[in-house]
Amino acid sequence: MIRCLALARPAGDPLSEIVAAAGWVPLPCFPTAQVPTGAPCPLPEPDAVILLSPGGARFAELPEGVPVLATGEGTARHLEDHPVHLAPEPTAEGLWALLQDRYPRGGDFLLVRAERTRGWLQEAAGGSPWRLHAWITHAERPTEGFALPACEAVLALSPLQAEVLGPEAPNRLRLGWGERAAAAFARVGYPAHAWCEPRPDALLRLLIALKEEP
């Protein structure tokens, strides 16, 4: 049986390829959109830039030639003019480990993030030699006139996506990319059927398991 999974990634994106590898058909679907904030850069000459998502890579005009620490290939593909170092796992925790490994003495780092991004990395670095200067370059907003295409399941990649997708998918399989997305489904009255840690390998395992269910 062919199953389509709607997610906010274009065709060919690494996460879409994970969906396909699990035996599902990835269906590009964008319940939210990223909009620029216009905030000025707080640190013009950082030791390095930390990017949490592809959105940051699109909206931030990064200092030329500065090294970039990124979560994964989806973010790195937007950074052709910068030396890029990928986290051992595509999470804030993975970036924290990479930052300490690449810059053991600390320094001043530009943290490019969205308005509603989880603040774990800044909390972890608080009071340490790794001084993070947050630059909120973009914000997530619901897509005006959004309509869910025909599919068997939806994957919310953020809490706001879950809030939009829940009412649109009352009779679809609702999946969360991380516990926060799953909790957001529940807040709007449409609990998630399952969720995974926000890592490609975890999503692959989840989708394979769901594919095998009758």
Residues 48 and 60: their CA atoms lie apart, in Å, by 14
Split into its structural domains, the chain has a count of 2
Let me know whether 13 and 105 are in one domain.
no
CA distance readout (Å), 212 to 38, 108, 134: 46, 48, 43
pLDDT at 95: 92
Question: Which residues, given as ranges, of the chain have pLDDT below 50?
Answer: none
Q: Which domain covers residue 186, as residue numbers? A: 4-31+144-212
How confident is the model at residue 84, as a pLDDT? 85
Q: What is the CATH number of the domain that holds 136?
A: 3.40.50.10090
83-142: per-residue pLDDT in tens?
888 888 888 889 999 999 999 999 999 999 888 776 889 999 999 999 999 999 999 999
Q: Are residues 63 and 15 in the same domain?
A: no
Are residue 174 and residue 150 in the same domain, yes or no? yes
Residue 105, both tokens = 């003495």
**Under a CB-based contact definition with an 8 Å cutoff, are residues 181 and 159 in contact?**
yes
Residue 18 per-residue DSSP state:
H
